[in-house]
Amino acid sequence: MAIGNLGKVGGKNMQTTMLNQDKMQMFVERYLELSNELKYRKGESGAYLQLGELLTQKGDFDTSTKHFYRAMKIAEETGDGDLKETAKVNFGMANASMKWTNHVSSILNNLQESHPETGPMGALHEEDEDEGEGVFEGGEKEFKLP
């Protein structure tokens, strides 16, 4: 079914994929609507999987995990083991990325709050004339940057 491959426009070429993400998302969302209207469950699970992949590439891990979960559940209902496993792996990766992003953001926010004048990384001073290197002060330690 040709319409089922709409989310795959651009193939593996990452530049083409990045340039066409919004257009691809629009087509996949329309395919999901049509699959839903036609009660074509396999099409729905494939569309949710493709939407999850697109949103993961955009960094929207929260929404992508929801789409991967839906794809996994529908694939389970329809007996599509391959799609279920793919959705399960993608769900785990998107979920881990979401948690990692939240963790790093929390650390950076805490550092920013504890160092409001200089920011979390300290201050970078002008070049040291003798060695031609920048001196970085971060808390109690000094580091030389090339």
* 66: CATH: 1.25.40.10
Residue-number span of the structural domain to which 9 is assigned: 2-114
pLDDT digits (tens, 9 = 90+) for 62-85: 999 999 999 999 999 999 999 999
- For residue 137, the cross-strand partners are 123, 142
Number of structural domains (the chain) is 2
- For residue 145, the cross-strand partners are 134
Q: How many CB atoms lie within 10 A of CB 90?
A: 21
Of residues 102, 137, 146, 103, the one with CA closest to residue 117: 137
Q: Are residues 47 and 110 in the same domain?
A: yes
Q: Model-level pTM? A: 0.66
- For residue 134, the cross-strand partners are 127, 145
pLDDT digits (tens, 9 = 90+) for 107-136: 999 888 887 776 555 544 444 445 554 444
Q: Are residues 88 and 144 in the same domain?
A: no
What pLDDT, on a 0 to 100 scale, did the predictor assign at position 4? 54
